[in-house]
């Protein structure tokens, strides 16, 4: 076969994590690695078992016991490591498990952590409130753009945790700036890279130590599997791996298989999601009922320049803010309150499913409580915010559905 010098990432993703057929070795390999289910793996004799355990203790990835993963999980790990340009990857039963493990891996009592104001809700609600406080780890939230970070660093700051674009309204973080600060203070930088699903953006190349991905979203891509991953640099690997192992995290081979299968088509799915989202976002921007549309691809989006510099594309998530004056007027005219107005809009949609998560093939809608999700930024005086995941439906059908929902709100006065 002809040598291709530098195939693009989209091309390489079709082959990652798969053995290569050779004339001497594996002469024929399946296109999709098979599902290897095992708890017990049997050894030939005592000497072999000791040898395998020794290699495992030295950090080598070997087949030894189901909890350390079988060939199916190993194939997915290799693919994610290559996609993100990491050293090694650890899989988790959910995105949240990967996040929680990172906090436990790099923090100890007395430490301090800086957390982006834009983080995924359960980081604030569950990890900060239920785990960090009990471990006597203190935390402060920072502006996602990092502008206030130097004033909030403490002698005991051990970790910076960012998510870019953020959850809900997609605030952008300047990871180059955050990693400069992290490196000069010897602090670990952990980044939730779920929006880009490890494909559109590579935090490790920008100086981060760990890139976390909820594979539940676009990697799996079909809303039917929970999965998390931590792609690590060489320096962060041992801490992440040991902590994950101690907590007993393991992913079923069936789920790893589904994720690896999903990964192959993720680049083309993301492009289709983004094309639909861009069309819907521009349409929403022209609606008089809408005050602001949040989507990093839009030149009007705050931090659009960072997205343009550091990302190779966008996903299908967009959010809109209903004009507060308009919303209050309609809510008053209909005597239904702001919540009633939002309920009416959501319940009028038929192509947008109502439910958590995103990254599957269908469009979804979810009202966002931004005021309760931020503590640095003040969202208390904004209009109602709705998040849409734009699926693979024809965009014209989605626009018709949204137009119907807007009409259901009526026009006061
Ligand atoms: C969904 C999500 C997670 C959590 O992933 P789960 O697999 O649902 O636990 C973490 N971070 C972000 C940004 C997410 O959107």
Distance 235 CA to ligand 1 centre (A): 24
Q: Say how far apart CA 402 and CA 404 lie, in whole Å.
A: 5
Distance 21 CA to ligand 1 centre (A): 36
Reported as a pLDDT band with limits 50, 70 and 90, residue 406 is very high
Protein residue whose Cα sits closest to atom 6 of ligand 1: 95
CA 349: distance to chain centroid? 26
Distance 95 CA to ligand 1 centre (A): 5
Report, as an integer, the average pLDDT of 323-352.
96
Edge-to-edge order in the sheet of strand 88-92: 88-92, 228-232, 210-214, 188-192, 157-163, 112-116, 138-142
Please check the confidence at residue 26 and state whether its pLDDT lies above 90.
no
Report, as an integer, the average pLDDT of 382-406.
98
> Percentage of the chain with pLDDT > 90?
94
pLDDT computed for residue 307 by the predictor: 98
Q: Say how far apart CA 191 and CA 357 lie, in whole Å.
A: 19
Between 24-28, 123-127, 270-274, the lowest mean confidence (pLDDT) is in: 24-28
Q: Say how far apart CA 368 and CA 106 lie, in whole Å.
A: 30
Report, as an integer, the average pLDDT of 338-366.
97
Alpha helical stretches, state H, 291-355: 304-310, 324-333, 337-348
Please check the confidence at residue 266 and state whether its pLDDT lies above 90.
yes
pLDDT computed for residue 137 by the predictor: 98
Active-site residue, 217 included: yes
Report, as an integer, the average pLDDT of 79-83.
98
Q: Say how far apart CA 115 and CA 103 lie, in whole Å.
A: 11
Protein residue whose Cα sits closest to atom 2 of ligand 1: 214
Report, as an integer, the average pLDDT of 149-157.
97
* Residues constituting the chain: 413
Give me the catalytic one of 88, 158, 217, 264: 217
φ, ψ for residue 366, nearest 5 deg: -155, 125
The answer to whether the beta carbons of residues 159 and 212 sit under 8 Å apart is no
Burial class (CB in 10 A: 0-12, 13-18, 19+), 188: buried
- 3-state DSSP call for residue 85? coil
- 3-state DSSP call for residue 219? coil
pLDDT computed for residue 20 by the predictor: 86
Active-site residue, 67 included: yes
pLDDT computed for residue 410 by the predictor: 80
Please check the confidence at residue 123 and state whether its pLDDT lies above 90.
yes
Neighbours of 57 (CB within 10 A): 8
Among the listed residues 152, 147, 150, 197, the one whose alpha carbon sits nearest the alpha carbon of residue 172: 147
How far apart are the two ends of the chain, measured CA to CA in Å? Answer: 71
Residues with Cβ < 8 Å from 10, sequence gap 6 or more?
A: 267, 268
Give me the catalytic one of 78, 88, 90, 120: 120
Identify the DSSP state of 231.
E
Q: What is the pLDDT of residues 101-121, one digit of tens each?
A: 999 999 999 999 999 999 999
pLDDT computed for residue 411 by the predictor: 62
Distance 28 CA to ligand 1 centre (A): 37
Active-site residue, 326 included: no
Instruction: Give the ligand 1 atom nearest the CA of 96.
Output: 9
Residue with tokens 């990967």: 98
Q: What is the pLDDT of residues 194-248, one digit of tens each?
A: 999 999 999 999 999 999 999 999 999 999 999 999 999 999 999 999 999 999 9
Q: What is the pLDDT of residues 163-204, one digit of tens each?
A: 999 999 999 999 999 999 999 999 999 999 999 999 999 999
Q: Can you spell out the DSSP letters for 288-299? A: TTEEEEE-TTST
Reported as a pLDDT band with limits 50, 70 and 90, residue 398 is very high
Distance 214 CA to ligand 1 centre (A): 5
Alpha helical stretches, state H, 126-208: 149-152, 175-184
Report, as an integer, the average pLDDT of 256-275.
98
User: Hey, which residues does 318 pair with through a beta bridge?
Assistant: 388
Longest C-alpha distance within the chain, in Å? 85
Please check the confidence at residue 1 and state whether its pLDDT lies above 80.
no
The answer to whether the beta carbons of residues 319 and 387 sit under 8 Å apart is yes
**Alpha-carbon distances, residue 119 vs 72, 110, 141, 156, 396 (angstroms):** 31, 22, 9, 22, 32
Give me the catalytic one of 67, 176, 183, 242: 67
Report, as an integer, the average pLDDT of 124-147.
96
Active-site residue, 239 included: no
Residues with Cβ < 8 Å from 81, sequence gap 6 or more?
A: 87, 88, 89, 231
pLDDT computed for residue 412 by the predictor: 47
Pocket residues: Cβ below 6 A from ligand 1? 94-96, 120, 163, 167, 192, 194, 214, 216-217, 226, 228, 357
Give me the catalytic one of 192, 209, 255, 310: 192
């Amino acid at each position: 076969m002809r040598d291709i010098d530098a195939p693009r990432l989209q091309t390489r993703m079709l082959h990652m994590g798969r053995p290569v057929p050779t004339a001497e070795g594996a002469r024929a390999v399946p296109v999709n690695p098979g599902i290897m289910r095992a708890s017990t793996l049997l050894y030939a004799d005592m000497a072999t078992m000791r040898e395998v355990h020794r290699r495992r203790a030295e950090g080598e990835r070997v087949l030894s016991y189901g909890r350390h993963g079988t060939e199916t999980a190993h194939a997915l790990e290799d693919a994610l490591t290559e996609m993100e340009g990491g050293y090694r990857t650890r899989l988790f039963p959910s995105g949240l498990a990967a996040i929680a493990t990172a906090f436990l891996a790099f923090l100890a009592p007395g430490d301090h952590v800086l957390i982006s104001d834009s983080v995924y809700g359960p980081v604030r609600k569950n990890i900060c409130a239920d785990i960090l406080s009990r471990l006597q780890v203190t935390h402060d939230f920072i502006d996602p753009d990092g502008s206030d970070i130097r004033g909030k660093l403490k002698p005991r700051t051990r970790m910076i945790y960012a998510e870019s674009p953020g959850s809900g309204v997609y605030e952008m973080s300047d990871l180059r700036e955050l990693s400069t600060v992290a490196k000069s203070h010897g602090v670990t930088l952990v980044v939730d890279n779920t929006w880009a699903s490890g494909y559109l953006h590579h935090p490790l190349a920008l100086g981060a130590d760990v890139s976390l991905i909820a594979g539940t979203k676009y990697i799996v891509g079909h809303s039917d599997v929970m999965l998390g991953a931590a792609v690590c640099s060489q320096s962060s690997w041992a801490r992440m791996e040991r902590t994950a192992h101690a907590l007993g995290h393991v992913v079923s081979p069936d789920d790893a298989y589904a994720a690896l299968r999903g990964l192959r088509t993720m680049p083309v799915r993301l492009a289709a999601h983004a094309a639909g989202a861009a069309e819907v976002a521009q349409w929403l921007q022209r609606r008089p009922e809408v005050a602001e549309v949040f989507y990093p691809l839009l030149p009007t989006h705050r931090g659009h320049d960072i997205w343009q510099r550091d990302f190779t594309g966008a996903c299908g998530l967009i959010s809109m803010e209903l004009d507060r004056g308009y919303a209050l007027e309609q809510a008053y005219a209909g005597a239904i309150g702001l919540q009633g107005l939002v309920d009416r809009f959501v319940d009028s949609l038929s192509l947008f499913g109502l439910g958590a998560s995103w990254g599957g093939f269908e469009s979804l809608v979810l009202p966002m409580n931004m005021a309760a999700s931020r503590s640095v930024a003040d969202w208390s005086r904004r209009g109602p915010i709705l998040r849409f995941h734009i699926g693979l439906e024809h965009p014209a059908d989605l626009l018709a559905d949204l137009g119907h929902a807007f009409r259901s709100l009526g026009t006061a006065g």
